[in-house]
Structure 1
Amino acid sequence: MPVTNLLPLPRLAALILLLFARPLLAGQTQVAVAANFSQTMQRIVEDFQQQSGHRVGLSFGSSGKFYAQIRQGAPFEVLLSADSEKPAALEKAGLTVNGQRFTYAMGTLALWSALDNISVQGADILSGGDFNRLALANPRLAPYGLAAMQVLDTLKLTQLTRHKWVLGENIGQTYQFVATGNAELGFVALSQLLARNIPSDQYWQIPATLHQPIRQDAVLLSTGRNNPAAIQLLAFLQGEKARRTIREHGYTLPPEKPAVQP
């Protein structure tokens, strides 16, 4: 019996090409992301992968460690730092693509306790000293830790609290110190608290006047110069959909700029 309802061969070939074109053209990129931006970036990457077909490998950690690893040849193609200094230093060292650095978010610091018997409504809890451990990210590695030190310096509480400091390698580890009760109090990123729906009466959002702005810069590294997946990810990060996600996660944004072009 003859077979019927088959597509003509040219049309069948065209359909097969259409179905498989996007996966065949899809690429992959490796991205180093500051720990404070982990949940936000995971959401952004989900949207980007769905739209573009590209795949993104994410590594989370301290900006300081990523800076050192990139200087030593780590195969990242994009860096999302928690500051502006390290991307600028990589640019100066010739390890980035010129003109591809931009501020993707402005970070906000918060003082938080996970314990019911500690009220965090301002700086009084710090000066009162009714705690044994104060967690902050290592200021040599993590910009949020540097901002926390600036807050303590501005409030003239550095010497009073120094013997109680517990340093996390990054802001993610610092959050865990407080969440588990290993530190009664700690400086964390506001975005971490909003992502977990922690009530605002359990933390103090640090006024921006108490520390230098936490400008978080992204940069295309030289290793990603010819990778469309890396270039398009940075363009997506500057688009309205990603910017909306960034705002929803507790960050502020610099004025909008034209997206990075290939």
Structure 2
Amino acid sequence: MKFRFFRLLLAIVAGAAANSAFAGEVQVAVAANFTAPVQVIAANFEKDTGNKVVASFGATGQFYAQIKNGAPFEVFLAADDTTPAKLEAEGATVPGSRFTYATGALALWSAKEGYVDANGDVLKKNDYRHLSIANPKTAPYGLAATQVLDKLGLAQAVASKIVEGQNISQAQQFIATGNAELGFVALSQIYKDGKITSGSAWIVPESLHDPIRQDAVILSKGKDNPVAKQFADYLKGPKAAEVIKSFGYKL
């Protein structure tokens, strides 16, 4: 009896070691707005497949420059559709691997309860010192914010009040720490399961900015890594879709 138990224990240990030895990983560049969703998706992916997602977060434009300079990323989750398309046209991706994984929403947010009204009129009143946005040259959500200001005829009126974050995470941090009374963030940063998680916000109508279509693509460095394709396929699946929608994205 003891011998059989010992053999079973050895088999379990050997199996665990084998799974660990064959577990793979994929290096993924992730647009900052998608930080929270991808952390959940990556944890589910590792649980379901045994393979690991090693994620780096930042601005889409900055990632483009890093990828062109040889950064070791194998999959790119951008905050727009133009940057992955550009990389595709330049031959820096696996042909046919690009797809839209989410469509994002923009929100005007303040860390203060009741500060931002349901229609965003606080923006037009201009009774604030600082307005935080992400750098529109590198961050698609920052570009969308400038489009909103243009559409509302506020670009010149608020120009001196704008503080720019390098990416959408830093833009949100300026607001969260009180360095800006309000600002534009990705809805996913302040939203979960149908409600705003903190402060007060106005969800900006889609008509005020270009659609924020977020594309994913397998990069050339990931062409020989089966985990890269496995993760891209997982991102298209129902389990990932449920997470993505829970953070306010559309599919």
Task: Report what 1:250 is aligned to.
Answer: 248
Distance 1:181 1:223, change over 3 A: same
Residue 130 of structure 1: aligned partner: 127
* Partner-residue secondary structure (3-state), 1:104: strand
1:246 Cα deviation (Å)?
Answer: 0.2
The yes-or-no answer on 1:113 pairing with 2:110 is yes
Is 2:182 the counterpart of 1:204? no
Normalised by the size of structure 1, how large is the TM-score?
Answer: 0.89
Q: Aligned AA for 2:201?
A: Y
Cα distance 1:116–1:15, how it changes in 2: closer, same or farther (>3 A)? closer
| Worse-superposed segment, 235-244 or 19-28 | 19-28
Q: Write out aligned runs for 1:1-262 (5 A).
A: 5-7=2-4, 18-116=15-113, 118-195=115-192, 198=196, 202-253=200-251
Which of these two proteins has the greater Rg computed from alpha carbons?
1
* Whole-angstrom CA distance in 2 between matches of 1:209 and 1:75: 37
Q: Shift of the alpha carbon at 1:41?
A: 0.2
The amino acid of 2:51's aligned partner reads: H
SS at match of 1:6: helix
Structure 1 distance, partners of 2:114, 2:7, is 73
Q: Tell me if the contact between 2:129 and 2:181 (Cα under 8 Å) persists in the aligned partners.
A: yes
- How many residue pairs get aligned? The number is 250
State the 1:25 CA deviation: 1.8
- Aligned-residue offset at 1:124: 2.2
Question: How far apart in 1 are the matches of 2:180 and 2:9?
Answer: 64
Alignment check: 8 A CA contact 1:112 1:120 kept: no
* Aligned-pair identity (%): 51
The 2-side partners of 1:5 and 1:233 are apart by 42
Gaps of 5+ in 1: 254-262
* Partner residue, 1:256: none
Q: State the one-letter code of the partner of 1:250.
A: G
List alignment gaps of at least 5 residues for structure 2. none
Q: CA deviation at 1:139?
A: 0.3
Q: What is the CA–CA distance in structure 1 between the aligned matches of 2:120 and 2:153, rounded to whole Å?
A: 11
Q: CA RMSD of the aligned region, Å?
A: 2.3
| Alignment CA distance shift 1:11-1:112 (3 Å) | closer
Deviation at 1:128? 1.3
1:102-132 Cα offsets, whole Å, 9 max, x none, are: 0000000000112347333324222211001
Q: Which one-letter code corresponds to 1:155 in the other structure?
A: L
| CA distance, structure 2, for counterparts of residue 46 and residue 13 of structure 1 | 28
**TM-score normalized by the length of structure 2:** 0.92
- Cα distance in 2 for residues equivalent to 1:11 and 1:151: 64
Q: 1:180 to 1:215 in 2, by over 3 A?
A: same
8 Å Cα contact 1:139/1:149 also seen in 2: yes
Deviation at 1:7, TM superposition (A): 4.3
Post-superposition, which runs of at least 4 consecutive aligned residues in structure 1 deviate over 2 A? 4-22, 115-124, 195-201
Shift of 1:147: 0.5
Amino acid at match of 1:214: I
SS of 2:159's partner is: helix
SS in 2 for 1:60: strand
108-117 or 238-247, which moves further after superposition? 108-117
1:223 positional shift: 0.4
